Structure 1
Amino acid sequence: MKILLIAGGWSSEREISLIGARGMQAALEQRGHSVTFFDLLDQFDHLLECAQTHDFALINLHGAPGEDGLVQAMLERVHCPYQGSGPAGSFLALNKAAAKQIFRQAGLPTADWVLLTRRPDADWEPPFGWPVFAKSNTGGSSLHLGRAANREELAPILDEIFNAGECAIIEPQLTGREVTCGVLGEEALAPILIEPVAGEFFDFTSKYAKGGARELCPAPLPDEVTADVRRIALAAHKALGLAGYSRADFILGADNSLHLLEVNTLPGMTPTSLVPQEAAVAGLDFGQLLERLIELGLQRHAGTARAR
């Protein structure tokens, strides 16, 4: 199959995207596919004409463009099939404040929050008290993320977010362990328990530094907790109108309570990333996982074509 592998882009997560895409290219070529590596940063103006000469587009973009649904909407204009969710679901999931509204409407547990679209006044205080976590409302890879115990500590975190041209979402600190759970097709995969080694929480260093975190898959959790994680991950996937695959992130409290943090529509895709680890437990190696995503994307495209 002739595959257009779209990566890079110009978000703050560009380098992570490129690293993952090189591994994807190698795995696909080993399985006999012809792969065109397409860096969106330099080639954006040629996306549509290039997509028309390929059988399938595999998107490995993080942040915007990519997770915001723009590339997916463009590919649909030229009827080029791609993996994962469509434009609407992608856009809703990327915007954390919008997604949390949808989670609440669906009865899914998520922490309280405040969306700040501009720098607050100097005397602003969060309605749920301190400490809080502040992060970019549409960012990922744990970039522009920080913990603040008071207004003084919050100020530089907000400066970093707003100086990057982004909005901030503020949430109360939740005490517990981090759990993540992927969805593939219509099935939730085995969850992963994440134990940061390089920091107090799963920040950028913990996520990408060698030995930065222990990722226990399948998560050593009671059966009923595992079942709840999988149920909520699949329910969040459906509530956002997603397709193909996704990854939901949680905080698991000491009392086994769960709070849904966010859902990723284009999760990390290296052989050692979280969703590939979960897929391996289900019996799919990295190349097989990529081909399963292609298969699901082709099925979705065929269904959309029949509906036109």
Structure 2
Amino acid sequence: MTSSSAPAPSALTPLVPGSSAAPRVALLAGGLSHERDVSIRSGRRVAEALRSAGVEVSLHDVDADLVPALTELAPDLVWPLLHGASGEDGSVRDVVQLLGLRLLGTGPRASRVAWSKPIAKTVVSRAGIVTPEFVTLPQSLFRELGAGRVLDAIVGRLGLPVVVKPSRGGSALGVSVVRSADELPRAMVECFAYGGTALIERAVDGVEVAVSVVDLGDGPVALPPIEIVTDGPYDYDARYNPGRVEYFAPARLAPETRAAVEDVAITAHRALGLARLSRADLIIDEDGVVHFLEVNVTPGMTETSLLPQAAEAAGHNLGALYRALVEASLAAEPTGLAGVGAL
């Protein structure tokens, strides 16, 4: 990690654990998505940090043993660290609540909204956030209408360059930047390898930043923005293998621009009904306009992930911060399937 300056003061102060009883937390990691390996790495890193802060941790894969394990263990809290469909589309979170257990993080309904990039972009745009113009098209439509005609219409409407990505998914899997019309068919094929519906949005050139948001009980607070600089695409390999990307933590932004990106991340977090933690991916164009790309309800927690970098840039110990998230979740009013926490 490259730091452009000393960590800026943060409004976030992690709680000091006040009880002698160690919380019992079940971490969920793994699953069967394309991002399984990243999820496992996130789970191990969070488990290590929580144990260093005195939390009793168990780590579970998402398989046939999960429900009996959670039923027998009856943990105080379940923290999903799953990436990809079942982990972020709300389904595993639904099962956790069906078992009568408490979740750390966003509930199933709001997870489903955030997991769908087109829906999330629509929701945040209604909250006044700028997001690149886009269309969402299923693979079946290309077969029915003829791929050539549809692709011509896309270029005619959005122009070039465009970004093609699965409408649901993470870690930049299936994402392509298309700068000429003849690159578009291949980009669509690569996208459909990871999902049946494509989101095609107008590409925005500018400074790419990620802003993580945490809520320790007093409302969402933005961690320092992380600036992402790479010579090539910020793809799966670049994200999770050190050396291909240069990070600036905090981002090299003027104070007013930093305030603007933090405001966008917090506004998106609130508009989408997210809880405890999230990460918004943004681009600042040459005119200083902040564009919302997507939001993650389960940010990566690996050694190269952006939320841990942001927390450390703010001067926080990861174990203390993660325990503070646990304690804030346990201190909140319990919610059931019909309550606010189900959102």
Candidates 244, 255, 275, aligned match of 1:243: 275
Query: In structure 2, what residue type is equivalent to 1:260?
Result: F
C-alpha separation in 1, matches of 2:334 and 2:47: 27
**Structure 1 49/148 Cα, relative in aligned 2: closer, same or farther at 3 Å?**
same
Query: In structure 1, what residue type is equivalent to 2:316?
Result: L
C-alpha separation in 1, matches of 2:194 and 2:268: 29
1:100 aligns with 2:121: yes
| Equivalent in the alignment of 1:223 | 255
Of structures 1 and 2, the larger Rg is shown by 2
Question: Which deviates more from structure 2 when the two are superposed, residues 32-41 or residues 141-150?
Answer: 32-41
Query: In structure 1, what residue type is equivalent to 2:149?
Result: D
**Structure 1 106/47 Cα, relative in aligned 2: closer, same or farther at 3 Å?**
farther
| Equivalent in the alignment of 2:203 | 173
Residue-by-residue CA offset, 1:75-120 (whole Å, 9 max, x unaligned): 1222312211111111111100000110121111100011011252
C-alpha separation in 1, matches of 2:64 and 2:182: 40
1:123 aligns with 2:153: no
Residue-by-residue CA offset, 1:192-211 (whole Å, 9 max, x unaligned): 111114x1x32222212211
| Equivalent in the alignment of 2:237 | 205
1:263 aligns with 2:295: yes
| Equivalent in the alignment of 2:226 | 192
* Secondary structure in 1 matching 2:149: coil
| Equivalent in the alignment of 1:86 | 107
Contact 2:241 2:304 in 1 (8 A): no
1:45 Cα deviation (Å)?
5.1
The TM-score, its normalising length taken from structure 2, stands at 0.83
Contact 2:239 2:305 in 1 (8 A): no
1:134 Cα deviation (Å)?
0.4
Contact 2:171 2:236 in 1 (8 A): yes
C-alpha separation in 2, matches of 1:103 and 1:268: 22
C-alpha separation in 2, matches of 1:47 and 1:102: 37
1:161 Cα deviation (Å)?
2.6
C-alpha separation in 2, matches of 1:289 and 1:141: 24
| RMSD of aligned alpha carbons | 1.9
1:191 Cα deviation (Å)?
0.8
**Structure 1 275/149 Cα, relative in aligned 2: closer, same or farther at 3 Å?**
same
1:39 Cα deviation (Å)?
0.6
**Structure 1 114/44 Cα, relative in aligned 2: closer, same or farther at 3 Å?**
farther
Contact 2:240 2:305 in 1 (8 A): no
Contact 1:280 1:286 in 2 (8 A): yes
Residue-by-residue CA offset, 1:29-63 (whole Å, 9 max, x unaligned): 2333332221104535546525x621211211011
C-alpha separation in 2, matches of 1:202 and 1:23: 22
1:137 aligns with 2:167: yes
Aligned residues: 303
Unpaired runs of at least 5, structure 1: none
C-alpha separation in 1, matches of 2:66 and 2:186: 34
Query: In structure 2, what residue type is equivalent to 1:231?
Result: D
1:62 aligns with 2:96: no
Query: In structure 2, what residue type is equivalent to 1:70?
Result: S
Residue-by-residue CA offset, 1:249-280 (whole Å, 9 max, x unaligned): 11111221110101111001135421112222
**Structure 1 193/157 Cα, relative in aligned 2: closer, same or farther at 3 Å?**
same
| Equivalent in the alignment of 2:325 | 293
Candidates 10, 22, 26, aligned match of 2:48: 26
Residue-by-residue CA offset, 1:137-156 (whole Å, 9 max, x unaligned): 11101111111234431222
Query: In structure 2, what residue type is equivalent to 1:195?
Result: V
C-alpha separation in 2, matches of 1:164 and 1:257: 31
C-alpha separation in 2, matches of 1:209 and 1:48: 33
1:42-57 equivalent positions in 2, closer than 5 A: 43-44=65-66, 46=68, 49-50=71-72, 53-57=74-78
C-alpha separation in 2, matches of 1:90 and 1:30: 29
* Secondary structure in 2 matching 1:262: strand
C-alpha separation in 2, matches of 1:163 and 1:271: 28
| Equivalent in the alignment of 2:335 | 304
**Structure 1 280/102 Cα, relative in aligned 2: closer, same or farther at 3 Å?**
same
C-alpha separation in 2, matches of 1:246 and 1:55: 22
1:15 Cα deviation (Å)?
0.8
Unpaired runs of at least 5, structure 2: 1-22
C-alpha separation in 2, matches of 1:47 and 1:110: 42
Residue-by-residue CA offset, 1:156-205 (whole Å, 9 max, x unaligned): 222233233431100111111201111111211211111114x1x32222
